[in-house]
A and B are shown apart, each in its own frame.
Chain A
Amino acid sequence: MIHPLIRQLTAEGPVATDGAWGTELQARGLEPGECPDAWNLTHPDRVQEVARAYVEAGCRLIMTNTFQANRIALDRYGLAERAGEINRAGAAISRRAAEGRALVFASLGPSGKLLDEFPEQALYAAFAEQARSLAEGGAGALVVETMSDLAEARIAIGAARETGLPVVASMVFDTGKNKDRTMMGVTPERAAEELTLAGADAVGANCGAGIAGCVSLCRRLRAATGRPIWIKPNAGLPRLIEGRAVYTTTPEEFAGYVPALIEAGASFIGGCCGTGPAFIAAVHRVIVQRLPSR
Chain B
Amino acid sequence: MPDLTSLYTAILNGDAKAATAITKEALAENADPLEMVNRYMVPAMSEVGKRFECEEYFVPELLLAARAMKGSLELLRPLLTERGSEPTGRVVIGTVKGDLHDIGKNLVASLLEGGGFEVIDLGADVGPERFVAAVREKNANFVCLSALLTVTMPSMRKTIEALRAANLRDRVRVLVGGAPVTQQWADEIGADGFAPNASAAVTLARRLAAA
Whether A associates with B in a native complex is yes
> Could you tell me which A residues sit within 8 Å of B by CB distance?
26, 31-33, 76-77, 112-114, 117, 174-177, 181, 183-185, 237-240, 243-245
Q: How far is the CA of A26 from the CA of B101 in the complex (A)?
A: 17
Chain B residues positioned under 8 Å from A244 (CB to CB): 151
A33 close to B58 (CB less than 8 A): no
Rounded to whole Å, the gap between the CB of A156 and the closest CB of chain B is: 16
Q: List 24 A-B contacts (CB under 8 A).
A: A32-B155, A33-B97, A33-B99, A33-B100, A33-B125, A112-B101, A112-B102, A113-B103, A114-B107, A117-B106, A176-B55, A177-B55, A181-B58, A184-B58, A184-B60, A185-B57, A185-B59, A185-B60, A237-B179, A237-B180, A239-B150, A243-B151, A243-B154, A245-B150
Q: How far is the CA of A113 from the CA of B63 in the complex (A)?
A: 13
B58 close to A185 (CB less than 8 A): yes
Q: Does B124 contact A (CB under 8 A)?
A: yes
Question: Count of B residues near A, CB < 8 Å?
Answer: 28
Q: How far is the CA of A244 from the CA of B101 in the complex (A)?
A: 19
| Sample of 14 more A-B contacts, CB < 8 Å, known A32-B99, A185-B61, A240-B154 | A31-B98, A32-B98, A76-B124, A113-B103, A114-B63, A114-B103, A114-B106, A117-B106, A181-B58, A183-B59, A185-B60, A240-B180, A240-B185, A244-B151
Chain A residues positioned under 8 Å from B98 (CB to CB): 31-33
Q: Does B203 contact A (CB under 8 A)?
A: no
Q: Which of B166-199 contact A (CB under 8 A)?
A: 179-180, 185
Chain B residues positioned under 8 Å from A177 (CB to CB): 55
Q: How far is the CA of A32 from the CA of B147 in the complex (A)?
A: 11
Rounded to whole Å, the gap between the CB of A275 and the closest CB of chain B is: 15
Chain A residues positioned under 8 Å from B112 (CB to CB): none
Rounded to whole Å, the gap between the CB of A259 and the closest CB of chain B is: 29
Q: How far is the CA of A114 from the CA of B58 in the complex (A)?
A: 13
Q: Does B149 contact A (CB under 8 A)?
A: yes
